A and B are shown apart, each in its own frame.
Chain A
Amino acid sequence: MFILPLMAMLIGVEFILIFNRVTTSYEEKLKNDYAILVISKNELTTPIVRSHSDKVDSVESMNREEIAKEVTAGIQDSGMMAFLKGLPYFYRVHLTKYMSLDELKEVKNQLKSIDGVLNVEIFGESYHSKHTMFRLVKMILNIFIVMLFIVSIFLVIKQMEVWQLAHKDRMKIMEIFGAPMMLRSGILFKIAFIDAIIATFLNIVIFLYFKNSWASRSDIDFIKNNQDLLINISDYFIMFFTAFIIVLVSVSFVAFKSSEVPEG
């Protein structure tokens, strides 16, 4: 039975696909939720800011009147107007990607170099903790996938040894009578490809269950709200293709290893 090691490998492959989608999506969300605060005495536009830093995606102006209203609450209108006159411009600067603290500091310096900019606030501490947590989670998941893959490869190698023992005599007899390799290994290829189809099918069923049943009841909001990230049609093909390649390599290896080398 080649199905179990193959399923373990395919689970690894599917996890890679899912984690990539989830982390990309989460990264995008973190990026969208984050903005640098820029205070400037001159009016700024996106092209002006981007001319200083290509990592800036857009610049959003904050309503100065609302800021003035909050600050001058209880003061007469004329006082507020005077305050507004001396109030600088406030901007939220959105970035093109979710970047590290060092890159963020570099952007800060670039923004500071713009004429009229009084202050740039990157909220480094909270940003850094979120970013570190995100990287840590991603790294743990990658380690998990690598471990899963290593274990699966060992399982596949063991399975290949079992196959070789089970089919060695038959393949040797067939070779003595002149059977070409494809004929000798035909039954192995047949078994392996059937196993590949079954393993892919079982994996799809498992992941569809997670997507449609487990994820909707999950306590993790992000998963609950992003069920579409869990499995999609392209994954079916990727899993089958992976299974196909694995069995092809494994069976070819067994077939070549069983091939007789003339002595002498």
Chain B
Amino acid sequence: MASVISATNLSLAYDKGKNVIIENATFSVNQGEFVFITGPSGSGKSTLLKSMYGQIKPNDGELIVGGLNMKKIRKGQLLQLRRNIGIVFQDYKLINEWTVEKNVVLPLIITGYSLDVQRVQSEKLLSHVKLTDCAHKYPLELSGGEQQRVGVARALSKNPFLILADEPTGNLDEFSSGVVWDLLENACDQLNATVIVVTHKIPTIFNIPYRHFIIENGGIHEVH
């Protein structure tokens, strides 16, 4: 199976290497796998996720994402890579001046898809996340759970090969959490996307096989 993410002796740090968060991490994730990353607060879960979409450059070691070395990646390559990654944030990161339907198709807008394609995809995804009636609303008119469902729909809109989710259900009620987990499961199971979720707690009901990494004391290890 093809490796989507491969880390070898990876070190991540802030403040120009002074504040080391993750040290000597070695792991790999294959196409179509679902991975949970857990660990105590401040252990570096989000930092690891950020390094996977190039928000943070590796301090040492090697991190390959989609065949690109994240330490040596050029700006243009990074933007190109990000266009093929779906990202879900705990704080949603929706564009508040845009309608829900426009937010959902942001990756399509960036890639230059036609308005017709955008409309069709927006209708389909909003139906999946049960927000068809909210298409013309603005994010701030929605509840937290609804906003996160918009965020997930946006992450899925371009059928990405990789979905990164940072505490996607951290602020959500049970119903919205269930919808989000279903969507992520489906993306992995039916679209063969690799899904990496950083979370405090793995959901008790989960219908597909998954891998579980724990980050502790700057190291990362897999739970079997």
Instruction: Please list the residues of chain A having a beta carbon within 8 angstroms of any beta carbon in chain B.
Output: 169-170, 173-180, 183, 260, 262-264
Contacts and interface: CB of A to CB of B under 8 A. Distances in A.
Given A177-B106, A178-B110, A264-B12, A170 B95 contact: yes
Contacts of A264: 12-14, 16-17, 51, 56-59
Given A262-B56, A264-B13, A264-B57, A177 B110 contact: yes
A177 B95 contact: no
B53 A176 contact: yes
A183 B110 contact: yes
B53 to A, nearest CB: 7
B82 A178 contact: yes
B79 interface: yes
A137 B49 CA distance: 66
Contacts of A178: 78-85, 107, 110
B95 A169 contact: yes
B97 A170 contact: yes
A170 B96 CA distance: 8
B79 A263 contact: no
Contact of B82 (A169, A176, A183, A263): A176
B12 A176 contact: no
Identify the 7 closest CB pairs spanning chains A and B, nearest first. A178-B82, A178-B83, A264-B57, A178-B79, A179-B110, A262-B57, A264-B56
B87 A176 contact: yes
Contacts of A169: 93, 95-96
A183 B94 CA distance: 17
Contacts of B83: 177-178
Given A169-B95, A176-B53, A177-B107, 19 more contacts: A169-B96, A170-B97, A173-B93, A173-B94, A173-B95, A174-B95, A177-B106, A177-B110, A178-B80, A178-B81, A178-B85, A183-B109, A183-B110, A262-B55, A262-B57, A263-B57, A264-B12, A264-B13, A264-B51
Contacts of A176: 53, 55, 82, 87, 93
A180 B96 CA distance: 20
Contacts of B95: 169-170, 173-174
Contacts of B53: 176
A34 to B, nearest CB: 64
B54 interface: yes
Interface string B104-124: 001101100000000000000
A179 B55 contact: no
Contacts of A177: 82-83, 87, 106-107, 110
Contacts of B87: 176-177
A180 B80 CA distance: 9
A56 to B, nearest CB: 65
A134 B76 CA distance: 58
Nearest to A187: B97
